[in-house]
């Protein structure tokens, strides 16, 4: 339990998470004023979305949420954007007496996301599709081109990756980024080379096919193997040279980045020194110290892959072995947003006691992050609207303020309009009838909080006595004022 104003000691013990009882979820999670206004653990499972301009105190509020989760016995997955994020989270953990912290650093840890995803999904029919999606997400993010032509070749490249992943998985081989890159480089250049026994003996993909042919498999797996092997031995060698080269160029650039340097060792290692699934089995805090500012796009890709793998692992979480909630925190969510994962995390993970916190400066940031989605603006607004808790801090972006007004709309008003039109000049059959009366009405909702009220919220720091103000709304029971939103204040935590 966190007392935001830090004017009295914390005396409320964390809930007993030893059993999946529902009563624990109704206990308070975060106090927001001296009158006892609080969010419960059940509220947190509806997810939280924070929006506020740079310098609005957004990170200060986020620190209170993280501290509340740590004191309440949550497991946490903390993604980082700035190098200072790791230092801040470690300081909060010390204040909360949490020693079960793992700082995942590419220089010292190993984690093969493809292997972890295959192991977590087992015999699931969707496993190959998920592995291909993970690989192609990294390829797309690291590819330099964004034109329609580039997207066309990315689509063709995805088919090639799907065939290679199918061959590897059915043979019991991990299709790491390095394995796929080597397979593309060692491909047969002609049908004659593909039929050469000497080439087949030394080629790793051919060896995988031979191993798969001797393994037991279902009829559908056999059909997938036949199709992928036909592509490797017959279709690929006969493809036009330009087509093959375009596919290779599309894949080899991003894959080369994923096999070099410390991050290359992390992503392609045969051994893993850490697995996000551990957060499901025992209390723990994982800080992914691969900040975007320090490691660039590769650090971003690593964190997105960890999140994808963790999402699949959470689907099979057994609350009977540990019912504590798990919190996933994404500050600067526009950098880490995954259009294939985050919406599903928000919609479907409540029954697994998974809470997520997304924080960003503006709605436009989310629209840009969702640019690859079919309807980017619609998807971005859905990601922002799905969380049950919305924390709105000071902002000056017109689009974001307009979104906040619409999110806080609660007062319906009826607008009437009437008018007449002269028909005698335009309609000879009017027979002296010179006018036609019409009346329309519409129901509109006036914002319960105006944009200027949000724009003038206090933003913390010495000028505001370290106080950050916010408008907070939640689904479910209204606040004591009778409204689903309230104006709250947080005193920024003084981190060492």
Q: CA–CA separation, 289 vs 344, rounded Å?
A: 25
List, in order, residues 6 or more apart from 452 with CB less than 8 Å away: none
Q: CA–CA separation, 267 vs 147, rounded Å?
A: 28
Nearest to 424 by CA among 416, 433, 415, 412: 433
Residue matched to tokens 């509806």: 46
* Concatenated DSSP letters of 403-469: HHHHHTEEEEEEEEEEEEEE-TTT-GGGTT--EEEEEEEEEEEEESS-HHHHHTS-B-SGGGTTEEE
> Is the distance from CB of 437 to CB of 444 less than 8 angstroms?
no
Residues paired with 79 in a beta bridge: 288, 330
In this prediction, residue 5 carries a pLDDT of 42
Nearest to 396 by CA among 343, 460, 454, 341: 454
Q: Can you give the pTM of this predicted structure?
A: 0.88
- Write out the H or E segment, with its range, that includes residue 6: none
Q: CA–CA separation, 423 vs 3, rounded Å?
A: 70
* Size (the chain), residues: 496
Nearest to 51 by CA among 321, 273, 367, 291: 367
Q: Are strands 485-491 and 467-473 parallel, antiparallel or unpaired?
A: antiparallel
Rg (alpha carbons) of the chain, rounded to whole number: 28
From residue 200, alpha-carbon distances to 188, 203, 204, 356 in Å are 9, 5, 8, 49
Produce one character per residue of 434-461: b if its CB has 16 or more CB atoms within 10 Å, e if not.
eeeeeeeeeeeeebbbebebbbebbbbe
Q: CA–CA separation, 26 vs 476, rounded Å?
A: 12
> Is the distance from CB of 193 to CB of 152 less than 8 angstroms?
no
Strands of the sheet with 485-491, listed across from one edge:
101-104, 285-288, 75-79, 326-330, 354-360, 48-51, 389-392, 467-473, 485-491
Read off the tokens for 222: 């056999």
Exposure of 346 in the CB half-sphere (CA atoms within 13 A): 22
Q: For the chain, report the end-to-end CA distance as a whole number of angstroms.
A: 20
Nearest to 408 by CA among 479, 331, 332: 479
Q: CA–CA separation, 29 vs 307, rounded Å?
A: 24
| Phi, psi (rounded to 5 degrees) for 355 | -115, 145
From residue 406, alpha-carbon distances to 33, 113, 245, 282, 385 in Å are 25, 40, 50, 41, 10
pLDDT by residue for the chain (496 residues), tens digit each? 344 444 444 455 778 887 667 788 988 899 876 667 889 999 999 999 999 999 999 999 999 999 999 999 999 999 999 989 999 999 999 999 999 999 999 888 889 999 999 999 988 889 999 999 999 999 988 876 554 566 777 888 999 999 999 999 999 999 999 999 999 999 999 999 999 999 999 999 999 999 999 889 899 999 999 999 999 999 999 999 999 999 998 899 999 999 988 888 888 988 888 999 999 888 899 999 998 888 888 999 999 999 999 999 998 888 887 789 999 999 999 988 887 788 788 888 888 999 999 999 999 999 888 877 777 778 888 888 889 999 999 999 999 998 898 888 755 555 556 666 555 555 555 555 555 666 665 656 677 888 899 999 999 999 999 999 999 999 888 888 788 889 999 899 988 8
3-class DSSP assignment, residue 318: coil
Maximum Cα–Cα distance across the chain: 98
Read off the tokens for 132: 């291909």
List, in order, residues 6 or more apart from 274 with CB less than 8 Å away: 102, 104, 109, 110, 111, 286
């Amino acid at each position: 339990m966190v007392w935001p104003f830090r004017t009295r000691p914390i005396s409320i013990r964390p809930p007993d998470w030893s059993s999946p009882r529902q009563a624990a979820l109704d206990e308070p999670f975060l106090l927001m004023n001296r009158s006892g206004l609080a969010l419960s653990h059940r509220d947190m499972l509806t997810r939280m979305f924070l929006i506020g301009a740079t310098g609005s105190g957004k990170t200060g509020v986020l620190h209170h949420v993280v501290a509340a989760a740590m004191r309440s016995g949550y497991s946490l997955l903390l993604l980082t954007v700035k190098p200072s994020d790791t230092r801040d989270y470690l300081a909060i953990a010390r204040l909360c007496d949490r020693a079960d912290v793992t700082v995942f650093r590419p220089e010292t840890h190993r984690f093969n996301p493809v292997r972890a995803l295959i192991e977590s999904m087992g015999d699931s029919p969707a496993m190959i599709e998920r592995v291909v999606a993970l690989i192609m997400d990294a390829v797309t993010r690291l590819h330099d081109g964004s034109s329609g032509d580039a997207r066309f070749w990315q689509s063709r490249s995805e088919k090639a990756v799907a065939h290679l992943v199918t061959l590897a998985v059915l043979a019991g081989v991990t299709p790491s980024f390095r394995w796929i890159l080597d397979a593309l480089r060692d491909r047969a250049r002609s049908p004659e080379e593909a039929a050469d026994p000497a080439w087949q003996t030394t080629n790793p993909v051919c060896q995988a096919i031979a191993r798969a042919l001797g393994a037991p498999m279902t009829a559908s797996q056999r059909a997938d193997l036949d199709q992928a092997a036909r592509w490797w031995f017959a279709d690929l060698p006969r493809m036009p040279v330009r087509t093959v080269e375009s596919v290779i160029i599309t894949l080899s650039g991003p894959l080369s980045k994923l096999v070099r340097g410390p991050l290359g060792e992390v992503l392609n290692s045969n051994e893993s020194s850490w697995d996000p699934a551990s957060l499901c089995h025992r209390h723990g805090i994982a800080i992914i110290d691969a900040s975007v500012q320090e490691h660039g796009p590769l650090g971003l890709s690593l964190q997105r892959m960890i999140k994808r793998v963790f999402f699949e692992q959470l689907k099979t979480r057994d609350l009977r072995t540990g019912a504590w909630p798990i919190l996933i925190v994404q500050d600067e969510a526009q950098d880490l947003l995954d259009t294939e994962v985050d919406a599903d995390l928000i919609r479907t993970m409540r029954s697994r006691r998974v809470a997520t916190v997304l924080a960003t400066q503006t709605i436009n940031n989310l629209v840009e992050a969702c640019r690859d989605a079919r309807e980017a603006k619609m998807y971005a607004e859905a990601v922002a609207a799905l969380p049950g808790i919305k924390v709105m801090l000071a902002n000056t972006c017109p689009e974001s303020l307009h979104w906040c007004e619409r999110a806080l709309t609660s007062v319906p008003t009826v607008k009437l309009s009437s008018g007449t039109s002269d028909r005698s000049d335009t309609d000879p059959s009017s027979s002296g009838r010179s006018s036609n009366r019409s009346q329309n009405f519409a129901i509109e909702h006036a914002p319960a909080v105006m944009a200027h009220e949000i724009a003038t919220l206090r933003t913390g720091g010495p000028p505001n006595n370290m106080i950050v103000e916010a408008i907070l709304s939640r689904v479910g029971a209204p606040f004591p004022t009778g409204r689903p939103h309230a104006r709250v204040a947080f005193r920024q935590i003084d981190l060492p």
